[in-house]
Amino acid sequence: MVGDFTMAHGMRFAPHVHPVHQLSWATEGTVSISTGAGAWVLPSTRALWIPAGVEHAVDVSGPAVFRAVHIDRSPHGWSAPTVVAVTSLLRELAAYLTDPALRGDARRRAEAVLLDVLRPVSAATLEVPMPADERALAVARAILADPSDARGLAAWGREAGASGRTLARAFTAETGLSFGRWRTNARLRAALFLLAAHTPVSVVSRRVGYGTPSAFIAAFRAALGVSPGAYFGGAPE
């Protein structure tokens, strides 16, 4: 079946599982889907194949329309979450499958075609786990609230009441990421939501803490493998 869910700013679907496979993406806006394998921020040009039984959660940081396609069969024996390109044909097939009168052989044929057109694309996860240490947690929350804040750990430590080394150890031990990598992921995740809202790259780069658009594009490409324009299916940069 196919379901569309209108999600308001800050809404989430708590971790849950389905007995069938699911193909999920945002037909409008951007969603973040997290599993035990990582977290993906998905614009309308990318979807996540979630195998049956895999626990996942869905979050948005802005208005979005979340689409979930439930299918009994798995394409190519995929057993792990897989990011795929949302092509025009895939969109049309999903829309076709929303017809509740579509049943039996006709539905199975449409589902077979949808499975056949799924194409994996390279996509890194952007995990932003929160530290447990109260001082590091305060820093993390402040950066999420303002990704453009460029203060280093020494400056953050003076505000949080801990040395820079203590904060660095907390981030590494409790998030599995260095402070620098954690902040980069936080900035890029914030950038994806802005880009999905058609905010120009020049504006996005400033809002998430990069001095120039070229520096932002380089960081985006290093983390996600493509430029912002390519990630959003050829949107202008």
Which of 60, 91, 117 marks a domain boundary?
A: 117
Residue 218 forms part of a structural domain? yes
Over range 195-222, report the average pLDDT: 94
Look at residue 43 in the predicted model and tell me its pLDDT.
83
The residue ranges of DSSP E strands in the chain, in sequence order, are: 2-7, 12-16, 21-28, 31-35, 38-42, 46-50, 56-59, 64-71, 82-85
Q: How confident is the model at residue 236 (pLDDT cuts 50, 70, 90)?
A: very low
Which of 117, 145, 179 marks a domain boundary?
A: 117
Residue 237 forms part of a structural domain? no
The CATH number linked to 154 is 1.10.10.60
pLDDT at 234 over 60: no
Residue 124 forms part of a structural domain? no
Q: Are residues 79 and 32 in the same domain?
A: yes
Look at residue 235 in the predicted model and tell me its pLDDT.
37
Q: Which residues are within 8 A (CB) of 109 and not within 5 positions of it... i.e. 6 or more apart? A: none
Summarised one tens digit per residue, pLDDT across range 104-138 is 899 889 989 999 999 998 777 888 899 999 999 99
Summarised one tens digit per residue, pLDDT across range 16-71 is 999 989 999 999 888 989 998 888 888 888 999 999 999 999 988 778 899 988 88
Please count the structural domains in the chain. Answer: 2
More confidently predicted of 237 and 92: 92
Q: What is the pTM of this model?
A: 0.75
Look at residue 157 in the predicted model and tell me its pLDDT.
93
Summarised one tens digit per residue, pLDDT across range 162-203 is 999 999 999 999 999 999 999 999 999 899 888 887 899 999
Which of 75, 90, 117 marks a domain boundary?
A: 117
Residue 58 forms part of a structural domain? yes
